[in-house]
Amino acid sequence: MDRVLLVDDEKEFTDVLSERMSSRGVEVDVAATGMEAIERIQKKSYDAIILDLVMPGMDGIETCRRLLEQNPDLQVILLSGHATVEKGVEATRLGALDFLEKPADLQKLMERIESAKARKMLLVQKRSEEKIRDILKSKGW
């Protein structure tokens, strides 16, 4: 089962989107603010973080920056009502995986979540291999 954290202050939007994603076999958690998202990733691992760009208080770009600072392996997909090229470039520079415009097509979003999951698995595998290599090197076997 895919695990997704949906970060958006628009409750009606997160309610319906999480219901639709759950019916497609995705486990969805919701955070209404950037701070809440940061707290959630400390407690649980997610295959993808779907993050709204414009939120009260800490905005999507700042939240993305802080999330990736805490865990560079996180797969962040930014969602915005106005996906400007400028914001897209900024998000990509920060390390976001993708940038989608609202209203988003659920099929497309599900495909992006699958890519995020695959990329995360590759990163985890790479980290494990590096760890094993380090252990082998330090033990001199």
Partner 1 sequence: MSDHLRRDVFEQALAFFGRMTALLSHEMKNALSVLNELGGLLGDLSLSAQRGRPIPAAQLDKIANGIQKQVQRCDAYIKRLHHFSHNTDSFRALVPLDAAVAEIVQLSQILAARKKVTLDVESHAPPQATVVDKVFFWQMAVYECICAALDNAQEGDTIAVRFANHPGPPFVRITGSRGIPETALEPYLPILSVLVGELNATLEQISGGEGKSAAALVIRSATA
Out of 1, 42, 72, 82, the residue judged to bind partner 1 by CB under 8 A: 82
Q: Is 55 left (phi over 0), alpha (psi -120 to 50) or beta?
A: beta
Out of 2, 3, 20, 110, the residue judged to bind partner 1 by CB under 8 A: 20
Check residue 2 for interaction with partner 1 (CB under 8 A).
Answer: no
Check residue 36 for interaction with partner 1 (CB under 8 A).
Answer: no
| Antiparallel, parallel or unpaired: β 98-101 and 26-31 | unpaired
Check residue 23 for interaction with partner 1 (CB under 8 A).
Answer: yes
Q: Pick the stretch among 86-94, 96-104, 115-123, 127-135 that binds partner 1 (CB under 8 A).
A: 96-104
Which positions from 100 through 129 interact with partner 1, judged by CB under 8 A?
A: 102-104, 106
Residues sharing a CB contact under 8 Å with residue 8, sequence separation 6 or more, in sequence order = 14, 30, 32, 50, 51, 52, 55, 79
Q: Output the smallest distance, CB 23 to partner 1, in A.
A: 6
Interacting residues toward partner 1 by CB under 8 A: 10, 12-13, 16-17, 19-20, 23, 54-57, 59, 81-82, 102-104, 106
